[in-house]
Amino acid sequence: MVAVNLMSSPGSGKTTLLERTVRDLGGQLPIGVLEGDQETRLDAERINATGVPAVQINTGAGCHLDADMVDAGLRALAPEPGALVFVENVGNLVCPALFDLGERARVVIMSVTEGADKPLKYPHMFRTADLMLVNKVDLLPYVDFDVARCVSYARRARSDVPVIEISATRGDGLENWYSWLHELRAAPSR
């Protein structure tokens, strides 16, 4: 199993990206999803509607998932050997970066509807990221967001962080995201 921890602010497009990803890759490899939120089953229901199994983990007042929650979620999900398991963490740019969930990789998702200065304000999130996705690039003509500045700020926290610009709704850059996932899955565990 290869676990990928998806972290971001609320509203960055994590669930939309997951819906698109599992639809596009679900026929190619086994996939499962752990959905972290304080309340509701809404995100797990969205993923289950794609035909991919998802387990909802509600944290109550908690601002992040922890290893025990993920362990219980994995037991309920029971992924196939070699499966790609996405962990959609609680929307928050602080707490999730502080907790090791046993993931193979951490992906931070920025939305162009957020300020380009988020990496300066929340450096630990970007310092621990193995990949940064800049989502909603289809909205760039309508918002004041400087991608190059945001990437520069993220690289102050982690100089070698790879960056992929995507639109989860329109499909821009998703082939690069999928290639990254396939390479991650093929790479030996660290």
pLDDT attached to residue 27: 87
Pairing of strands 2-8, 31-37: unpaired
Nearest to 1 by CA among 70, 90, 85, 69: 85
CA gap 85, 30 in Å, rounded: 8
Find out whether 29 and 4 touch, Cβ atoms under 8 Å. Answer: no
In the prediction, which pLDDT does 188 show? Answer: 85
Q: Which of 59, 7, 4 is nearest to 32 (CA)?
A: 4
**Residue-level pLDDT at 16:** 97
Grouped pLDDT means (10 residues each) for the chain, 190 residues: 97 97 94 95 95 95 94 97 96 94 97 97 97 98 98 98 98 98 90
CATH top class, domain 2-186: alpha beta
Q: Residue 89's CB: how many other CB atoms inside 10 A?
A: 30
pTM of the shown model: 0.96
pLDDT value at residue 190: 67
Ranges of each domain in the chain: 2-186
Strands in 38-130 per DSSP E: 54-58, 84-88, 105-111
